[in-house]
Structure 1
Amino acid sequence: MSSSGSLSLLLLPPLSCFLLQDPSLAFSLQSCTIFYSENVSNMWVTCKGRELTVVSDNIPRNAASLDLSWNLLAQITRTDFRGLSKIKSLEVQRNLISHIDGGAFTDLAELLILIMNDNKLTNLTDNMFQGLSKLATLALSSNHISFISPVAFQSLDSLKWVELGSNHLHQVKDIVPLLKLPMIQILFLGYNKLNSFQSDDLPLNISNVRSLSLSLNPLRKFSITTDVFPYLQSLDFSKCSSNMEWKVENKTFLRSLTSLFFSGTYISFDTYREMLQTTDSLQKLVLTYIKEWLDGLVDIACKIPSLRSLDAAACQIETIDDNLQRSCSQLTELILSANSLSGMSEHSLQSLTQLSLLQLHGNYLPKVPRALRRLSTLDVLDLSFNVISELDCLDFQHLTRLTELNLNHNRISSLRGCVFQNLNDLKVLNMGQNAVFTIQDAFKVSLRKLESLNLHSSVLVKLKQGDFRNLSSFRFLDLEADTAIPMDYGIFEGLDHLQTLRLSVSSYEKDFFRLSHVENLTLHLTFAWNPQSSQLNDESPFSNSPNLKKLVLKVYDTFTTHISPNMLGGLKSLEYLMTEKFFVKSVHPDMFKYTPQLKGLQIVHSDVLYLTPELFWPIPNLKALDLSDNELRSLDFLAQANLPALSWLKLSNNKLSIINEMLLHSLPALTYLDLTGNPLTCECSNSGFNLWVLSSNQTQVINGHQYTCAFPVSQRGKKFLEFDVHSCWIDASFLCFICCSCLIVFTLLASFTYHFLRWKKVASQRYDAFVSYNINDEAWVCRELLPVLEDFEPGKSIVENITEAIYGSRKTICVISRSYLQSKWCSREIQMASFRLFDDLVKRCTYLSWPRAAQHTGVFWQKVQRSLEANEQDLLSTKI
């Protein structure tokens, strides 16, 4: 294969091969993603929205939850869920399922929840739910079900909750099998075609159902003539027929009824009144989208002594006069949300002497109604999503029992010192999204029991020392905003129980914030962040917060500064660090030397170009690492990072094109890997990673089967796992055949013939060059470097082949790449080439032999002296 004047190549065969394991064990599911906690029994598999036409056959056998919703499944067969005996929750809503084989769910013996809403089912057949003895929740809404087999539910002894809304059920006898179930409690039949619900049509004595919804049915008659529902607690007649006849012969038949739902004027006022008059035990009444008869219905309902809760949401109420609640003195809960309230008379709520909860959110109230000042029994007040611009000192003066106050999403700009002065029992105060710019002395008095304060999105001019002095019960404080809040020294002194703090700052100094008890700290570093004044740049700003377990550092604006490697000094208890746009380009190798307990690390949107393995050496307990949305081009840092516990690794949206699968072997606990959005190369350089993704039975590569090729141009847009990797490897069986054949031939040759031919070959065969390269660079060598190939001589050791090839070639060419430097055999080749170079150099140099000069020492030393006087570039070698 060689000739004078031609360039020949000595090809080295690959030294390893990849064997695919059983694909059913692989975690890189083609159409699904696995999520799970540290407890493997809680594994959740989602195949949602993947356009599946059949159930994936590689779902892990230990999956506890499976989501197949939003696909194109047309049927469920007996084999679809075979072997999935540990699944407890199964969702297949939003498909095209029209048929289910009998016994299709037999293997799902542990199933508790089955959701099949929004499909094409028309019939529920005999054995459809066979084997689901533990099933507790069954959702079949929005199908086309018009027939239910009398024995369809006979094996569902544990069933408690059933949804059959939005189907084509015409007769109440269709649901008799459900009403007979021993554990049934909740039955939703809304939006069907039931025109009658009569106990005379139910061939049963007693049903255990607790909640029954018949909303949006064209009911013309509701009749209970026997005590068939002794446990019924909730009835929903929302938006039913306007001419419905109500017939309950004995009030005791509904003796357990506590909740009743009406909606709109679909039922006549007389029928509503009749219904209310037969529910002596009613505790909660919901009246939605009712305006015309609201006053009359409320008046009738409030005459029921047991009534405690009235919900009149979305009834288009614009104002409340003195008459609405006059007869409702026994109410403890009043909900008037999502109306058009802009005011109420001062005495409109004066009769509600037992009210503990009042919800007025989602209205147009410009101020706190004066009517609330008389509600001294109130515990919870919700005034969120109104247009309140100012708080008066008398607004909450008499609400001394208030424990929760929600003023979120209003227009309050300032707080006077007297606003909350009497709220001695208040525990939760939400004033987020108000653009408050001054709090004066609002939190200096009272509020000793306040545990949670939300001032999110405030524009506070300044926080002064002592503003939170008396809040000794504080556990949660949110001061995060778009702009930094100036603060006095010692602003948080005395808050010994504060556990969670969220701040927007332009600088952070350890002596400025003494947070010895805080466990969760979020810092929003604003555009005014000053690297010169912040000790984040030179000392350990968090050293006065030794109990920090979670630290969040986020920047939404341009932020470039040097971050000191001592920044996390003193945080020996830190377990989670989340940063966004904080570290820029790189992270100092000593950054985590103070955080040995770190378990979760997030460095995102930071343009990080590279990381060093030394960075991770101090945090061997790291379990989750998120480096998404950066500029990483290599994962070399993983090789020596020493992360034995890392199980979750997210590297999405970086610049990774070649993934060395050997690096991933340095992460023995890795179970979750996300490389979405990286420009992967579909060439031989990635063949190892390609096969690793397909064969790994431990690590799940998230959406791996959806990854596409970015390079080369000819492969762009194609699936990464579909590019042909076989051309990158010499066929093992063919290689074995050649080797065996050669061995037989050489065994038959006589020893003298072998030596003769070998000598002739060595003497006559002389190559122009020996080319040393790694198999990953083969395509370039073959295409760009050499047109002629010549293999090793079979039957010899690799080392012997390499030696003869190098010494049998005039020149040695080394194609040095990253893969070349990582190869043991390539290292041997370049070492052998170096030996030959040294050998040639020695042959051209002055060479003296001491044994031969032993009898003529004078001549020997004369030659040595002459050599030392020669050109300084000449070499002298002495053989002893």
Structure 2
Amino acid sequence: MAPSTYRELILVAIFTSFLQLCSTYSFRNCIESANSNHTIFTCIKRQATTVHAIVDDLPPSATNVTISRCKLSHIPARNFSQLPQLRILALNNNSVTHIDKYAFVNLGHLQSLNLSSNSLTYLDPALFRGLLNLTKLFLADNKLTNLSLNQFSDLTSLEILDLRRNKLISFSTVVNAITNLPALKKLDLSFNKLTSLNASANLPQFLDILYLSNNNLITLTNNKQFLRTVKVLDLSYNFHLPTSAFHNLNMENITYLRLRSTNVSITKLLEHNYTRVPPWHIDFSGLGLKDPQILCKRLSHFPKRHIKNMTLTSNNISNLYNSTFAYCPLITNVLDISLNNLKNPGCLKFLTGQPHVKTLKVEHNHLNKLFRCNKGHSLTFPNLRELSFRYNRILSVSGNAFSHVPKLTTLQLNINIIAYLDTYALGGLKDLIMLRLDNNLLTDIYAESFEDLYSLKTLNLRNNQIAVIFNNTFHSLRNLTILDLGGNKITQFQSKAFHGLDRLANLYLDRNHLKEIDSQLLARFHNTLKVLDLHANQIYYFQERRQSPFVNLTKLVDLKLDAQRPDGINLLPHKFFQGLSSLKSLYLSNNHITYYSEDTFDGLTNLKFLTLDNSCVGVTKLTPGIFKDLRKLETLQVENMGIESFSKEVFGNLTALRVLHLNRNAIQTLDVDVLKNLTNLQYLDVRSSPLSCNCLNRDIQNWTKNNHRVQLVDLYSLTCWDQKGSNFYNFDTNVCYYKEELYLFASTCSITIILTLIPLLYVKLYWKCKYGYYIFRSWFGEQWRRLREQEEKCIYDAFVSYNSADENWVMEQLLPNLEGNGSSYRLCLHHRDFEPGRNIVDNIVAAVYNSRKTVCIISQNYLRSEWCSLEIQLASYRLFHEMQDVLLLVFLESIPERKLSTYHRMRKVMLKKTYLQWPGPDCTDPAKAQGLFWKQLKKALRSSSSTRQEEESMEADVQLGEEKDAPNTKDREYFVNQPHVDEEAYYLMP
């Protein structure tokens, strides 16, 4: 193996590994053809201005590259060196003016190079060196005026050289450039400015085809043997080329000579035997032979008595007589008299003496009618197999018009204006296989029209004016396989319209006026029909069908229902395609389908191609599971469907899908998981969709950078609709990571703050929260509402709230003084009066609301008790929020203000309400002080609403800054330590 081959294999291996590891399987300026396996690329209408920018990212496995209609002006050196496997390179239709001599280095496998339709004026002599395998070189449509010596000397395998439409003047320089090309077979120099074929060198030995049409030739060559090896020579449209130019030229190997529109007199050419060219190899078109009989008489002098093909087109022939071709050698194959002025074929009597003609072409003439040719006529042409009257003006065809050609197998009457076809016009054509009547004006066809066509296999009636197909129209056509009725005005088929079509495989009914699909009519084709074309009819549904119209077409493989008029199929009924178990291709594009049900495509288990392009109304949301049965689908086209989401529920089952067209939809995001699930996908087109450049598409951007399986078409041209000037493939995704970090920081910071505040809030708000909970619970409880209603019907005079540690004082001091010794107060004590088995909170609420007053026995132990705190909170709620004078505070011991300040609500109560202090042991006269205490307590228990009003007035005075006689905290401390202060004022301090 050559070292270069090793290098190429190494390059391919390196690229393949790179592609699999990290490469983006998309190309900046090219599109890989679907299913080409990294070999075929098209780069058309790119904005790039350099070849390097276009092909730089193509893989070394590329074998076919087309760069066309781009803005290239220069092909630099070695721009294709990284493509060693290239076989076909097309650089046509650009604006290339200069190509570097090393532009095609390292393209040793190149077989075809197309540089046509550029602006080349010069080719470097070394330009094509090294292209040892090049077989086709196209340089047409440039501005070349000259070629260098040995210009193509290295192209030892070149077979075709196309230099059409240049400005070459010297034929000799062309020959010098190609003379050493041993494999050259075809040279095209048409549309140049050559005036002569004189050359100092010889043509390549194996040059067979030489096109020299549309030049300025006025002579050929002085070398009589120069054209000896040429087989096909086209000299047409050299208007000044004379007959004398052929004098004594050796053209004995010519098999086809074309002299159309030259100044050559064919009669003189044949009369004086200027050349050795066999006359039966000459194309006699465009030579002004108005009377072919003269030509035939000239040909009769040649020893050979038969001619295979005779072409007499464009000779202004107006009339053909019975003996016109009688003098000609026997024509054994084709007689072409198209592009003349014939008006009447006359039952082909002009073929008298030519019984062996197999194909007769009378196209592009002025025939207006085909007349009757009586049966049993002595002049028949049993060997004629193909007859073409295309492109005439035939208006009518009479009965038995073809009785003189009973063995016809192909009859072409298409592209005329036939409005009347006699019922028996085609009578007797029992061997006819193909009949073309398309592009005429037929309105009716009848059963008798095809009565004798037992062997017919193809019947083309496209583009006529047929409205109805009657019963038994095709009853004799039992061998018909292709029936084309497209482009008519058919609105209905009678019940037996297709009777007799036992082998029909292809039925074309497109562009008619059908409004429904007749399932019973199609049922007869259940074993034969493979192609059904209903394109551009008027089929639509407003309600569900009970049964699929295709339920019997189990052999159908191709179905076209696209572009129904005027607004398309607006509804696809449930299980509409049921029965089409063999269907492989389905066309539904260009419809306005408003809804696709989940079972729309059920049963299409063998479908491989589906197109729904432009088949929607506005934005479409495809039903999940709609493609669930399409496990063999390979190509899906849903272009311009208004699809918003690319979801796994819709597309996830398409595991065999290779090509997916999603362009021109409303998709903003692509789900990477769906793409990963489509394990066979190779080609994805989302062009002209409003892809969003936000964090939702971050994963798809990363996927495009690492994916080596799916080609995202034209990735580098996809833009962001929400970020003008940004490209989808490289939009900034860092902000997505910043947001994640920000969210993480914010969440951790919040958790830290919450965990820090919880202990503080527990200390500060524990009781408020707990109280609020109980209040909330009681507020909405039935007990709360009941107690509020019974507020005026109190059971107790006072509810005594105390801590169990102070129970001795309550039982020994409070209870005897208020309920004993002649007192009539009724107190509520929790250990005595709470209802057993009842919730303690409900008992507390009942005690507070069933008592006119709540007496709180305050001590250090009381302040530390949770339940005591709840009891005073409930009482204070009635004091502050319900404005009820219900709370009395009794201090059993002196408590510093710094401790009371912790209990905000208790400080508030002390500022608003009178409180009592139990005389301590340091009092000068305990008995008197205690007596005064009980007197003040009983007075407070008997206080009325008027007292409450006085207190409210006092509170208002305090708020206005008028403290009057109310002593402050320091005064209270003073009074406690001063025995001479009035005792009543001491024990009743505001």
Using the size of structure 1 for normalisation, the TM-score is 0.75
Is 1:71 matched with 2:60?
A: no
Question: Which residue identity lines up with residue 363 of structure 1 in the other structure?
Answer: N
Query: Alpha carbon RMSD of aligned pairs, Å?
Result: 4.0
2:384 is aligned, of 378, 399, 417, to 378
Q: Which deviates more from structure 2 when the two are superposed, residues 425-434 or residues 70-79?
A: 70-79
2:337 equivalent in structure 1: 336
Q: Distance in 2 between matches of 1:690 and 1:83?
A: 27
* Alpha-carbon separation, structure 1, partners of 2:434 and 2:773: 86
Shift of 1:624: 0.8
Q: Deviations over 1:539-581 (max 9, x none)?
A: 1322211111122113132345543322222222222211135
Task: Describe the SS at the equivalent of 2:397.
Answer: coil
Structure-1 residue corresponding to 2:603: 594
CA–CA distance in structure 2, aligned partners of residues 275 and 638 of structure 1: 84
Aligned to 2:711: 700
Task: Answer yes or no: is the 8 Å Cα contact 1:567–1:591 preserved in 2.
Answer: yes
Give yes or no for the alignment of 1:238 onto 2:239.
no
Question: Any idea what SS the aligned residue of 1:87 has?
Answer: coil
1:140 CA drift (Å): 1.3
CA shift digits 1:644-669 (9 cap, x unpaired): 22121112333334444554333232
Q: 1:75 deviation in Å?
A: 2.8
Report the CA distance between 1:264 and its aligned residue. 1.3
Residues 241 and 582 of structure 1: CA distance in aligned 2, closer, same or farther (over 3 Å) = closer
Post-superposition offset of 1:170: 0.7
Q: Is the Cα–Cα contact under 8 Å of residues 443 and 471 in structure 1 kept in the other structure?
A: no
Worse-matched range after superposition: 77-86 or 221-230: 221-230
Question: In structure 2, what is the Cα distance between the partners aligned to 1:320 and 1:861?
Answer: 130
Tell me the secondary structure at the aligned position of residue 83 of structure 1.
coil
Map Cα deviations across residues 389-425 of structure 1 (whole Å, 9 max, x no partner). 2211121112222111222222223543312221122
Map of 1:540 onto structure 2: 548
Q: Distance in 2 between matches of 1:581 and 1:546?
A: 26
2:774–2:841 contact (8 Å) kept in structure 1: no
Aligned partners of 2:293 and 2:327 also within 8 Å: no
Q: Is 1:257 matched with 2:259? A: no
Q: Secondary structure at the match of 1:172?
A: helix
Equivalent position of 1:278 in the other structure: 275
C-alpha distance in 1 between matches for 2:156 and 2:775: 95
CA-CA distance at 1:237 after TM superposition:
0.9
Deviation at 1:278, TM superposition (A): 2.4
Q: Note the residue ranges of structure 2 that are not aligned, 5 or more in a row.
A: 1-17, 759-771, 779-833, 847-990
Which has the larger displacement, 286-295 or 186-195? 286-295
In the superposition, relative to structure 1, how do residues 260 and 413 fare at CA in structure 2: closer, same or farther (>3 Å)? same
- Assess, with a 3 A threshold, how the Cα gap between structure 1 residues 214 and 482 changes in structure 2: closer, same or farther: closer
1:572 to 537, 560, 581: 581
1:68 partner SS: strand
Measured after TM superposition, the shift of residue 133 of structure 1 is 2.1
Distance 1:183 1:488 in 2: 63
Q: Which residue of 1 aligns with 2:105?
A: 106
Distance 1:807 1:217 in 2: 97
Aligned-pair CA distance for 1:721: 3.7
The Cα of 1:612 is off from its aligned counterpart by 2.4
- Structure 1 residues 438, 637: closer, same or farther in 2, change over 3 A? farther
Structure 1 range deviating more: 699-708 or 507-516: 699-708
Counterpart among 593, 615, 618 of residue 606 in structure 1: 615
Contact 1:638 1:666 in 2 (8 A): no
Q: Contact between 2:187 and 2:207, CA under 8 Å: does it hold in 1?
A: yes
Q: 1:217 to 1:480 in 2, by over 3 A?
A: closer
Task: Give the number of aligned pairs.
Answer: 739
Corresponding residue SS for 1:596: coil
Distance between the aligned counterparts of 2:318 and 2:189, measured in 1?
Answer: 33
8 Å Cα contact 2:392-2:415 kept in structure 1: yes
CA distance in 2, matches of 1:287, 1:719: 65
From the superposition, tell whether residues 683 and 248 of structure 1 become closer, same or farther in structure 2 (CA, over 3 Å). same
Deviation digits for residues 278-311 of structure 1, max 9, x if unmatched? 2453444334544477758844774454543233
Alignment of 1:191-206 (within 5 A): 191-198=191-198, 201-203=200-202
Q: Which residue of 2 aligns with 1:180?
A: 180
Q: Quick one: higher RCO (CA 8 Å, sep 6+), 1 or 2?
A: 1
Highest CA radius of gyration, 1 or 2?
2
Distance 1:48 1:359, change over 3 A: farther
SS of the residue corresponding to residue 174 of structure 1 reads: helix
SS at the partner of 2:560?
strand
2:214 touches 2:237 (CA, 8 Å); kept in 1?
yes
* TM-score normalised to structure 2 length: 0.67
- Contact 1:538–1:566 under 8 Å retained in 2: no
Higher helix share: 2
Using the alignment, how far apart are the partners of 2:341 and 2:22 within structure 1? 58
Q: Distance in 2 between matches of 1:107 and 1:489?
A: 69
| SS of 2:154 mapped into structure 1 | coil
Task: Judge conservation of contact 1:189–1:213 (CA < 8 Å) in 2.
Answer: yes
Gaps of 5+ in 1: 1-19, 732-773, 776-788, 811-839, 847-857, 871-880
Measured after TM superposition, the shift of residue 496 of structure 1 is: 3.5
Q: How far did residue 93 of structure 1 move?
A: 1.7
Write the distance in 1 (CA, Å) between the matches of 2:244 and 2:66.
42
| CA apart distance, 1:388 | 1.8
- Which residue number corresponds to residue 559 of structure 2? 551
Which deviates more from structure 2 when the two are superposed, residues 543-552 or residues 696-705? 696-705
Is the 2:517–2:539 Cα contact (8 Å) retained in structure 1? no
- For 1:705-720, list aligned pairs within 5 A: 705-711=716-722, 715=724, 718=725, 720=727
Contact 2:171-2:198 at 8 Å conserved across structures: no
Question: What is the CA deviation profile of residues 290-348 of structure 1, one whole-angstrom value per residue up to 9, with x for unaligned ones?
Answer: 44777588447744545432334344555545676453352332333344544456644
Question: Secondary structure of 1:184's match?
Answer: coil
Matching residue's letter, 1:49: K
More displaced 10-residue stretch of structure 1: 161-170 or 313-322:
313-322
Q: Distance in 2 between matches of 1:295 and 1:806?
A: 110
Aligned residues of 1:276 and 1:300 also touching (Cα < 8 A): no
Partner of 2:205: 207
1:422 and 2:423 aligned: no
CA offsets, 1:4-38, max 9 Å, x none? xxxxxxxxxxxxxxxx98999434322222214x4
Q: Report if the CA contact (8 A) 1:289-1:313 is conserved.
A: yes
- Quote the offset at 1:211 in angstroms: 1.1
Amino acid at match of 2:658: S
Paired-residue identity, %: 23
Counterpart residue identity of residue 598, structure 1:
L
Q: Distance in 1 between matches of 2:570 and 2:773?
A: 54
* Structure number with higher strand proportion: 1
1:400 aligns with 2:377: no
Q: Give the 3 Å change call, closer, same or farther, for CA 538–329 of structure 1 in structure 2.
A: farther
Question: Which residue in 1 is equivalent to 2:37?
Answer: 40
For residue 233 of structure 1, report the CA deviation from its aligned partner.
1.3
1:503-545, Cα deviation, whole Å (9 max, x unpaired): 253322433222121111122463375767xxx8221322211
Cα contact 2:60–2:83 (8 A) shared by 1: yes
The SS at the match of 1:222 is: coil
Instruction: Name which of structure 1's ranges 115-124 and 158-167 shifts more when overlaid on structure 2.
Output: 115-124
Pick which of 447-456 and 97-106 moved more. Answer: 97-106
Contact 2:540 2:569 in 1 (8 A): no
Query: C-alpha separation between the residues in 2 aligned to 1:246 and 1:809?
Result: 116
Whole-Å Cα distance in 2 between the matches of residues 458 and 864 of structure 1? 100
Give the one of 354, 365, 368 matched to 2:367: 365
> Does 2:443 correspond to 1:447?
no
- Alignment partner, residue 136 of structure 2: 137
Task: Quote how far apart the aligned CAs of 1:119 are.
Answer: 2.5
What CA distance in whole angstroms lies between the structure 1 residues aligned with 2:91 and 2:61? 19
Distance 1:179 1:409, change over 3 A: same
The answer to whether the 8 A contact 1:411-1:434 is kept is yes
Partner of 2:974: none
Q: CA deviation at 1:611?
A: 0.9
Amino acid paired to 1:118: S
Matched residues in 2 for 1:657 and 1:223: separation?
70
Alignment of 1:99-178 (within 5 A): 99-167=98-166, 168-178=168-178
One-letter amino acid matched to 1:432: D
Asked if structure 2 preserves the Cα contact closer than 8 Å seen for 1:97 and 1:121, the reply is yes
Task: Choose which of 389, 408, 413 in structure 1 pairs with 2:419.
Answer: 413
What displacement does 1:490 show?
Answer: 4.6
